[in-house]
Amino acid sequence: MEAKVTFCGGMRFVGQADSGHAVVMDTAVAGGGLDSAVRPSELLLIGLAGCTGMDVISILRKKRQPVSGLEVVVHAEQAPDHPKRFTAMTVEYRVSGAGVDPAAVRRAIELSEQTYCSVGSTLKIP
């Protein structure tokens, strides 16, 4: 797997992955950017939410659960000083669907967090 970023001026970069898909990144005006796109640290949280969300949906579908919606919200804290690493993360799952079994949802989340989500596994905070 490989990813690259290309500088586009100011503090704007375009990132591209092996899949060929691209994402634009920027930073706040105070950081020299135009605040025109997502920040790299935000992409990390989005990546975590997307990875575990895809796992949970896939598992619930296999369990034939009538899921009509899923939101995954990652709450994160950063150290105040550089490099401002993440010091804590909490993942909140909001599942909707008439007749969805809460036990199936709990198990799907558990499987994602303990076995399947590569992003979450990489980011485990001691």
The pTM score is 0.92
Note the pLDDT tens digit of each residue in 3-60.
Answer: 999 999 999 999 999 999 999 999 999 889 999 999 999 999 999 999 999 999 999 9
Mean pLDDT of the chain: 95
Over the stretch 93-116, which tens digit does the pLDDT of each residue have?
999 999 999 999 999 999 999 999
In the predicted structure, residue 126 carries a pLDDT above the cut 60: no
Residue pair 10/85 in contact (Cβ under 8 Å)? The answer is: no
Please give the full DSSP string across the chain, using - where no structure is assigned: --EEEEE-STT-EEEEETTS-EEEE---GGGTS-S-SB-HHHHHHHHHHHHHHHHHHHHHHHTT----EEEEEEEEEE-SSTT--EEEEEEEEEEE-TT--HHHHHHHHHHIIIII-HHHHHT---
pLDDT tops 90 at residue 65: yes
Joined together, the tokens standing for residue 64 give: 């034939």
What percentage of the chain carries pLDDT values higher than 70?
A: 98
Q: What is the DSSP letter of 37?
A: S
- Rounded to the nearest angstrom, the gap between the alpha carbon of residue 2 and the centroid of all alpha carbons in its chain is 18
